[in-house]
Structure 1
Amino acid sequence: MDTYAVVGNPVAHSKSPFIHARFAQQTGRIMHYTALLAPLDRFEQTALDFRKTGGKGMNITVPFKFEAFALANQLTDRASAARAVNTFWFEEKGKILGDNTDGVGLVRDIEVNLNFPLAGKHILLMGAGGAASGVILPLLQQQPGLLAIANRTPDKAASLQRQFASHGNITSGYYHDFAGQNFDLIINATSASLHNELPPIPADLFHGTSLAYDMLYSSRLTPFLELAKMQGAGYLADGAGMLVEQAAESFLLWHGIRPETQTVIRQLKDNLRHPTS
């Protein structure tokens, strides 16, 4: 039986095993998918050990996407652009193909599932880590009016701005640099919600915002979405749909078939509300 895994730290909360089990059932694939906790200083060894025991593919989550990029010895174009990897495919003769499905998953969830076209929109992306890196190019490819990157460390945001400057109208800065500006869409790509915390968001940042999107998912509103609701954002969404959509892209890479996602998104959201179901 082919074996796959998601690796991260923390990783116990991950719903990737739940999602891939349903994809396998839907498509008739016989596979095993598990969650692996990697020590913060042993990602590479964890990934290589998994491959040695017969692992066929791997999803990578916080905080290892940059290390996964460095470990891959072959990259897809979108992984090369992101300089971050969230999917491994272990091929023959030691080849490790690195892909990044985060961006296409996010865009598909926003534009298809939420019916929110991105063309011409002003977007604020919070964070400059691996999660943010993976979604910038796919967002810019939808031709928004502006993509702004806010980060606690402005130099990291500025580095991403330079990296993607040729692909669209992009700017960067510290969070408070964007106080008083209006954004149609604000995306939280930080890990703050994982720790039940908030990024340093300026007062009234969500004024006039049509969609507040947290790339993390939860059984209840994250602190980011609670604040967005309180400040009057028009619509709130977490990353459950993105998680399923990016997983479908990984499944396509591994198995050559893209599973249907709408049913699995509904099943995931129901599982988040009722974990024993």
Structure 2
Amino acid sequence: MSRSPLYAVFGNPVAHSKSPQIHAGFAAQLSDPVRYEPRLAPVDDFPGHWRAFMAEGGRGANVTVPFKQEAAALADRLSDRAQQAGAVNTLILDRNGEVVGDNTDGAGLLLDLKRLEAPLEGARILVLGAGGAVRGVLQPLLEAQPSALVIANRTIDKATALAERFDIQGRVRGCGFEEIKGRFDLVINATSASLAGELPPLPDTLFDEGALAYDMMYGAAPTVFLQWAQTFGVRCVDGLGMLVGQAAESWYQWRGTRPDTTPILAALRADLR
């Protein structure tokens, strides 16, 4: 009797990862009994642990901090979205035995935003931050056809460089936090400030009527950014749904089926509380 297909999440640290719980939920929901394990790789030998995993019959993996750039180097080829992001969070062993590096962050964000019925087409979108997380989500956001997308960052050069890279139709602009002008239908916080309990210097005139404030970070309590946004009476959502969404996209790349993220998200939210 053959064993169930083997998948994993690689990271250092990795014990905190919710990926095993999420994928166990997908497996049960879809009656597709895969094995999915957390794998702690040493910071100086992720490639060796990946090769050992493949020798065990591993079919694919999620990759988290600090191995996303190394995962890109391990892949035989990269998906378009992994190339755009400059980082890989999903490794896929294809039918030809080649390792494909993918990035599902942008797809996960869009899946969650659509679940929330967020303003996208024709909307004015502001993205706070210009790091790797932003690079992975800009193209999917632009494909949703907003009327304008502004990238604001503490280091202005990073924001303008990203804007120039992704601006094809004159819809993308980069600026510093102090240079943000106008009101927005959707504001996405992708800075690391939430981790430090800090708020970027933002104007009080940020949100249009009916706007959505979205923080890629999540926790039991609202982030500082969401606490601030709540004072303006706008709808506020954290990034837990994005986490489940990017996992669902990874699952689809591996297994060819699309899980329903709603019950998994509800279970994770209950655990946080």
Q: What's the TM-score once normalised by structure 1's chain length?
A: 0.86
Q: 1:29 to 1:16 in 2, by over 3 A?
A: same
* Aligned twin of 1:221: 222
1:110 to 103, 108, 113: 113
* Distance (whole Å) between structure 2 residues aligned to residue 22 and residue 82 of structure 1: 28
* Distance (whole Å) between structure 1 residues aligned to residue 43 and residue 158 of structure 2: 21
* Alpha-carbon shift at residue 259 of structure 1 (Å): 1.3
1:139 to 133, 138, 141: 141
| Cα deviation code 1:180-221 (max 9, x no counterpart) | 53222111123333x342252324264437111011221211
Q: Give RMSD over aligned pairs.
A: 2.4
2:174 to 172, 190, 193: 172
* Alpha-carbon shift at residue 60 of structure 1 (Å): 2.2
Q: Secondary structure at the match of 1:35?
A: strand
Query: Is the Cα–Cα contact under 8 Å of residues 207 and 234 in structure 2 kept in the other structure?
Result: no
For residues 236-251 of structure 1, the aligned pairs below 5 Å read 236-251=236-251
Q: Secondary structure at the match of 1:208?
A: strand
Amino acid of the structure 2 residue aligned with 1:191: S
Structure 1: segments with no counterpart, 5+ residues: none
Query: Is the Cα–Cα contact under 8 Å of residues 211 and 233 in structure 1 kept in the other structure?
Result: no
* Distance (whole Å) between structure 2 residues aligned to residue 8 and residue 216 of structure 1: 18
* Aligned twin of 1:124: 126
* Alpha-carbon shift at residue 88 of structure 1 (Å): 0.6
Amino acid of the structure 1 residue aligned with 2:77: Q
* Alpha-carbon shift at residue 37 of structure 1 (Å): 4.1
Q: 1:192 to 1:46 in 2, by over 3 A?
A: farther
Query: Is the Cα–Cα contact under 8 Å of residues 60 and 90 in structure 2 kept in the other structure?
Result: yes
* Distance (whole Å) between structure 2 residues aligned to residue 168 and residue 32 of structure 1: 46
2:61 to 48, 58, 62: 58
* Aligned twin of 2:160: 158
* Alpha-carbon shift at residue 128 of structure 1 (Å): 1.8
* Alpha-carbon shift at residue 233 of structure 1 (Å): 4.6
Q: Secondary structure at the match of 2:163?
A: helix
* Distance (whole Å) between structure 1 residues aligned to residue 12 and residue 156 of structure 2: 25
Q: How many residues align?
A: 269
* Aligned twin of 1:252: 252
